[in-house]
Amino acid sequence: MRIDLHTHSTESDGTDTPAELVAAAAAAGLDVVALTDHDTTAGWAEAIAALPPGLRLVPGAELSCSSPDGRGGTVTVHLLAYLFDAHSPALVAEQSRLRADRRRRLYRMAQRMAADGYPVDPDELLARLPTDSPAGRPHLAAALRDAGLVSSVDDAFHKLLRTGGPYHVPRTDTPVEQAIEMIAEAGGVTVLAHAFARARGPVVTAEVIVELASLGLAGLEVDHPDHDPPTRAELRRIATDLGLVITGSSDYHGTNKTVRLGAETTAPEMLDALVERATGAQMLVG
């Protein structure tokens, strides 16, 4: 069984459409794939309709959240949510607010770059993204790459778009405690994504994970491309101590990142443990 529980489509900042993504998952030899676009469930229907025979789909999302960092400050965390009812009113309202905030914020980032003479047009950038989609920095990064200003999306992040960098504008994310509660109310389960991906910026302390576990967090994403072996060992120990489900996932973004589908995987018994706790939606079979 090959299980990859974290992927992005064109409904957020990936480059495969949901239909292409499930086809690519089958071609990569996966048995189970989760679709976890940032702050939207808009890709579920297309992915379900296009599911190749034998492939199973875990419907999900990756929620942008703010969390106490454990040192008196605040930090961004990503919460993977699975098997929840996508029509839950509180969730629908909050995600729609966040998507609007994401679009305003990306517009402002592009506007600042244009003011400094970069050949980016904020209106054109936003017009190219689907209405109500969760606009993100990778969209601006791809535009900069296409304009020949940087060599890759990754290069754009490092030179211009990194958090705290010259053109970065923060989002107003959902408090993580609220997100865990919203997903639980919608019958879903939550897994903290790439919790110790320190190269991306500041991360939470282990004490924060203990606190989130007490609030109902179900699991920790341990095997992730942004975690080196010592970090994985550290997270695995924390998850084991707290009785949390351990997952592994590629965080595939199509050509916006180099990682391949199935580059990291989750053990079947860990997926079973998540499915057992969820009542909001079902895993789908092609």
Binding site residues, ligand AMP, CB under 6 A: 13, 38, 136-138, 153-154, 157, 253, 256-257
Residue 13 or residue 85: which is nearer to ligand AMP going by CB?
Answer: 13
Binding mask of the shown chain, residues 185 to 214, with x at each position contacting Fe ion by CB under 5 A: --------x---------------------
Which residue is listed with tokens 């351990």? 246
- d(CA 79, CA 278) in angstroms, rounded, equals 16
Q: Does 137 bind Fe ion (CB under 5 A)?
A: no
Three-state DSSP state, 19: helix
Give the count of alpha carbons within 13 A of 178, CB side only: 14
Closest CA to 277 of 232, 243, 228, 234: 243
Q: Give the single-character DSSP code of 255.
A: B
Q: Give the single-character DSSP code of 52.
A: P
Phi, psi of 49 (to 5 degrees): -65, -30
Residue 152 or residue 279: which is nearer to ligand AMP going by CB?
Answer: 152
Site for Zn ion in 118-177 (CB under 5 A): none
Site for Zn ion in 198-257 (CB under 5 A): 251
Q: Does 78 bind Fe ion (CB under 5 A)?
A: yes
Residue 78 or residue 103: which is nearer to Fe ion going by CB?
Answer: 78
Q: Does 4 bind Zn ion (CB under 5 A)?
A: no
Q: Does 94 bind Zn ion (CB under 5 A)?
A: no
Which residues does 30 contact at the CB level (< 8 Å), separation at least 6?
2, 3, 4, 55, 261, 262
Instruction: Tell the smallest beta-carbon distance from residue 106 to Fe ion (Å).
Output: 13
Residue 177 or residue 226: which is nearer to Zn ion going by CB?
Answer: 226
Residue nearest to ligand AMP (CB): 136
Residue 121 or residue 154: which is nearer to Zn ion going by CB?
Answer: 154
Closest CA to 262 of 227, 234, 223, 219: 223
Q: Does 13 bind Fe ion (CB under 5 A)?
A: yes
Element holding 4 (H helix, E strand): strand 3-4
Phi, psi of 67 (to 5 degrees): -140, 150
Binding mask of the shown chain, residues 57 to 86, with x at each position contacting Zn ion by CB under 5 A: -----x------------------------
Question: Where does this chain bind Fe ion (CB under 5 A)?
Answer: 13, 78, 193
